């Protein structure tokens, strides 16, 4: 009831927004952080399935083989969801908004019980440029990575709230403040 999904696309600034929300005192449950914790916790089982539990090695395996990626997702996603639901149930008793940072919220379709969604929005051209700069890759490579996810315009259309991150950090902070004021009213 008080949970708000925090999502966007690669290089839209979701992590920056999550950091700003933490500074304002909000609790953030990060699906990526939960996944890292679970990779450690289940390292023996993962090593038995994939021959390694090293995150970098595992990344190479699953990014180059869709069948292996699906196998890892089938193993991890139910555990991630269970952890997030347990944390959500714990936080609900406080009656204040909190955020579930789920990068692939729309792509997975796994969290339909949560209805409020804030999308961190950056136009696709800026997204590609930021990703190329951040990861030191070509614009073509960045565009391919961006195109692996649902288009940001489609996500924007499905959002309950939108935080615009098409300019600089000062603008983003004003957008976050505007969003927090919306939450309070």
- Tell me whether strands 98-101 and 3-7 are parallel, antiparallel or unpaired: parallel
What confidence tens digit (pLDDT) does each residue in 152-183 have?
999 999 999 999 999 999 999 999 999 999 99
d(CA 127, CA 129): 6
What confidence tens digit (pLDDT) does each residue in 88-139 have?
999 999 999 999 999 999 998 889 899 899 999 999 999 999 999 999 999 9
3-state secondary structure at position 150: coil
- The radius of gyration computed from the CA coordinates of the chain, to the nearest angstrom, equals 17
Q: For residue 2, which of 99, 87, 82 has the smallest C-alpha distance?
A: 99
3-state secondary structure at position 164: strand
- Residues paired with 98 in a beta bridge: 3
């Amino acid at each position: 009831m008080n949970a708000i999904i925090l999502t966007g696309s690669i290089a839209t600034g979701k992590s920056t927004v999550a950091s700003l929300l933490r500074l304002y005192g909000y609790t953030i449950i990060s699906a990526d952080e939960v996944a890292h914790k679970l990779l450690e916790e289940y390292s023996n089982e993962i090593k038995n399935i994939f021959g390694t539990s090293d995150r970098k090695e595992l990344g190479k395996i699953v990014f180059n083989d869709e069948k292996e990626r699906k196998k890892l997702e089938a193993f991890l996603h139910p555990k991630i969801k269970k952890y997030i639901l347990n944390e959500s149930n714990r936080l609900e008793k406080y009656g204040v908004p909190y955020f579930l940072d789920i990068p692939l919220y729309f792509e997975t379709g796994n969290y339909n019980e949560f209805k409020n969604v804030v999308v961190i929005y950056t136009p696709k051209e800026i997204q590609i440029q930021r990703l190329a700069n951040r990861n030191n890759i070509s614009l073509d490579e960045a565009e391919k990575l961006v195109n692996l996810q649902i288009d940001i315009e489609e996500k924007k259309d499905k959002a309950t709230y939108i935080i615009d991150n098409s300019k600089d950090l000062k603008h983003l902070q004003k957008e976050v403040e505007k969003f927090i004021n919306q939450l309070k009213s």
